[in-house]
Structure 1
Amino acid sequence: MNKESLRIVYMGTPDFAVESLRLLVEGGYNVVGVITMPDKPIGRHGSTLQPSPVKQYAVSKGLPVLQPEKLKDETFIQQLRALEADLQIVVAFRMLPEIVWDMPRLGTFNLHASLLPQYRGAAPINWAVINGDTETGATTFFLTHEIDTGKIILQEHLPIADTDDVEKVHDSLMVMGAKLVLRTVDLILEGKADATPQEAFYTDAKELRAAPKIFKETCRISWDSSVKRVYDFVRGLSPYPGSWTELVAPAGERMVLKVFSTQKIEEAHDLPVGNIRTDGKSHVDVAVPDGFVRLLNVQLAGKKRMAVTDFLNGFKLTEYFIVE
């Protein structure tokens, strides 16, 4: 069997998954079907339906697309069987039931944006940056019952610079991961995909860091953390979904302020945590236990994202404000 005759079903939804699909299609691999999420209602009244990035690409290439609401739906299962896939590839999709991942004769493999078994879960890129890691990577592994626990086929490492935000790491992993997907398919074609149990990569489960889904409250900045911890937290959520805090006026009014980039200032001081140091024109520094975090790029609720100098031009911020 060669890549032209290997029947592949591809599953994915967001931008991250488009690059892998693109390389498969442009590389001459036989993608016989694409599975993605149903179109998403957008607009004020939800009257407009927005197709996923993967669907948009698939349609542009004339690939058959299925968009099941429920993955155990009998109609969908029949449609999937009719595609007669030899192999299924999953990139940023959703948890699959066994009836789906166990269907192809060569199995189903997933691309995960971490060095498994580290950062199993929904938001591995965010958590690696939030935790201040200096390295992450991408992993391909065969699906099994428990999420993100299957045998590892290939891994590739990616350094994380101290200045990288999650968008930069996301884009780098997207490109790296797509190439890893092709290498994995080729190994499977050659019968050389010798997968390794994840247990071989650690001795104690306590060593493993999780990557749970991120919610709004997850993104709230804790100013009683260290300078580095706050700095990493902000870049680990920038630009999306964005970290936030509450700006509290002297009279007690509270305003949500998103923070997209900061600068570390390690400087001894005796200000209470959350107090602001500013000249009202060029800088806003927030006191944390071991120094200050200088805000560089912010967004006040209902306003546009902007540099802090532009923010100060339109907002009379004084040192009587605090953040919480």
Structure 2
Amino acid sequence: MKIVFMGTPDFAVASLTALYEAGYDIAGVVTAADKPAGRGQKLQESAVKKYAAEKGLKVLQPLKLKDPEFIEELKALNADLQVVVAFRMLPEMVWNMPSKGTINLHASLLPDYRGAAPINHAIINGETESGVTTFFLKHEIDTGDVIFSAKVDIAEDDTAGDLHDHLMATGAELLLKTVKAIADDNYQEQPQIAAEELKHAPKIFKEFCKIDWNQPVKKVYNLIRGLSPYPTAFTELNEKTIKVFKAAYEETEPGIAAGGFLTDGKTFLKFAAKDGFIQLLDVQYEGKKRMLVDEFLRGMRL
């Protein structure tokens, strides 16, 4: 069975690695075009491209997925199955091309958390479990019939980065199970059925990341860990931005206005929320490197 793999970030590399090491015939890899990044604006290759090049796999990097030249290249690969992990939305002429269809690995327990940022939103909403789902692509995004799913527990102090790593590993295992089942024609799809109102996972923009100190302290805490390490929750201090990567919370009567802070200038810095304090532990002040709060306080006068 010839497979074309489509993906871009680190999350997708684990799945591509699993397929490659299991001996599947990877006819080609489709990934994002190289992009300028950093101070020197040097072209950066995607994580998937780096792995594919290292293994000598054929790589396609279309700017537009409807480009006739790309469509012809894709057809020439003659794939039986396409596998999508953390890639772009595909036009029908692409996902409908292989004889066995196109499957997607999504980082949530569908139908909840359809969308671009399921890992972040699961933690922001205080979920205690998440998971991964494989399904066949169809017109509406993340709505295809489920092939398999697997659950992952979320600890109270897990960040989006922690959950990303757990789901990346679990997802690679689930994808292997799915591809084997398709190769053996031994699976039964289940339609997505929502038991109650769906939870969504839209793309996250900068304004969403600003901390609202009038919110309950647990909600602020979940926002911080749900946006860590990227795109990162932030607030303002001395008219500059301070990003918060890690924090702790205290549910207590703060006694000061929401958004006010307390510090001894050496070891702790905590902001008042609606019903408690958020103690900053790992931060990055505007124009500075990321550091633990005691190191940050040694260089600051508050």
Name the TM-score, length of structure 2 as normaliser. Answer: 0.98
* Equivalent position to 1:215, from 186, 195, 205: 205
Match of 2:75 in 1: 81
* Equivalent position to 1:302, from 271, 278, 287: 287
The reply on whether 1:23 has 2:18 as its aligned counterpart is yes
Quote the offset at 1:45 in angstroms: 5.2
Cα RMSD after superposing both structures: 1.0
Match of 1:224 in 2: 214
The reply on whether 1:259 has 2:244 as its aligned counterpart is yes
Match of 1:124 in 2: 118
Q: Distance in 1 between matches of 2:195 and 2:299?
A: 55
Q: Would you say the 8 A contact 2:254–2:273 is kept in 1?
A: no
Q: Distance in 2 between matches of 1:67 and 1:239?
A: 28
The reply on whether 1:97 has 2:91 as its aligned counterpart is yes
Quote the offset at 1:109 in angstroms: 0.4
The amino acid that maps onto 1:133 is E
Quote the offset at 1:40 in angstroms: 1.0
Query: What secondary structure, in the 3-state scheme, does the structure 1 residue paired with 2:203 have?
Result: coil
The amino acid that maps onto 2:259 is G
Match of 2:186 in 1: 192
Quote the offset at 1:264 in angstroms: 1.0
Gaps of 5+ in 1: 1-5, 318-324
* Equivalent position to 1:9, from 4, 9, 12: 4
Alignment of 1:309-324 (within 5 A): 309-317=294-302
Q: Distance in 2 between matches of 1:44 and 1:167?
A: 25
Aligned pairs, number: 302
Query: What secondary structure, in the 3-state scheme, does the structure 2 residue paired with 1:198 have?
Result: coil
Alignment of 1:270-309 (within 5 A): 270-309=255-294
Name the TM-score, length of structure 1 as normaliser. Answer: 0.91
What do residues 122-168 of structure 1 show as CA deviations (whole Å, max 9, x unaligned)?
00000001111000000001000011011100000000000111111
Alignment of 1:56-75 (within 5 A): 56-75=50-69
The amino acid that maps onto 1:264 is Y
Q: Report % sequence identity.
A: 56
Match of 1:172 in 2: 166
The amino acid that maps onto 2:29 is V
What do residues 13-55 of structure 1 show as CA deviations (whole Å, max 9, x unaligned)?
0000001000111110111100001011124353x21111101
Query: What secondary structure, in the 3-state scheme, does the structure 2 residue paired with 1:25 have?
Result: helix
What do residues 264-311 of structure 1 show as CA deviations (whole Å, max 9, x unaligned)?
111123311111111111111111111111111111101011111111
The amino acid that maps onto 2:102 is T
Gaps of 5+ in 2: none
Match of 2:156 in 1: 162
